[in-house]
Amino acid sequence: MKRLKRYRELITYSAAMAILLLLVRWLEFKFVLLQNQYDIYIGLIAVLFLLFGIWLAGKLTEPKINTVVVEKEIRIPESEFVLNEKELAERKISKRELEVLTLMAQGMSNKEIAEKLFVSLNTVKTHSANLFEKLEAKRRTQAIETAKKLHLLPGTLG
């Protein structure tokens, strides 16, 4: 069964060829009397084989595939925050300092930060003082702005 299917094309072509040749024979027989004007006969043969060739080509040649690549733009909403660890290392800002900085940026007072981190107010002050030096800032607001520009803090949190 599989073999039959496999050779179906070949059989089809052979059959077509046979029919064509039969047709040629028939035409030959029909126009045998008017040999002087066998131009018509030739013409018919030509047309027939031309058509046969076209049909055959359609069957034989693999279809031309013209691949058109259409680029579709997909928008990515936001580029999420990635901590600039290089900058963090270069300025030698410690984890605890960054922690304090983050809470600062959220609008907390030193006292609130101290309570949140379970340390004394003085400790927070020390951390903030170190931060200002490392960030070359005079005030906490400036430190926050600089830190955001350096990607040490997300632009807007929440």
Which spans of this chain sit near a copy of itself (rule: CB under 8 A)?
Answer: 24, 28, 35, 38, 42, 45-58, 60-79, 104-109, 137-146, 148-149, 155-158
Residue 42 half-sphere exposure, CB side, CA atoms within 13 Å?
5
With 0-12 / 13-18 / 19 or more C-beta atoms within 10 angstroms meaning exposed / middle / buried, residue 113 is buried
Residue 14 as a binder of DNA (CB under 7 A): the answer is: no
Residue 145 as a binder of DNA (CB under 7 A): the answer is: no
Nearer to DNA, 44 or 112 (CB): 112
For the CB of residue 155, give the shortest distance to DNA in the complex, in Å: 20
Gap between the Cα atoms of 144 and 102, Å rounded: 8
Gap between the Cα atoms of 95 and 127, Å rounded: 11
Gap between the Cα atoms of 67 and 94, Å rounded: 56
Residue 136 as a binder of DNA (CB under 7 A): the answer is: no
Task: By CB under 7 A, name the binding residues for DNA.
Answer: 92, 94-97, 109-111, 117, 119-123, 125-129, 132, 138-141
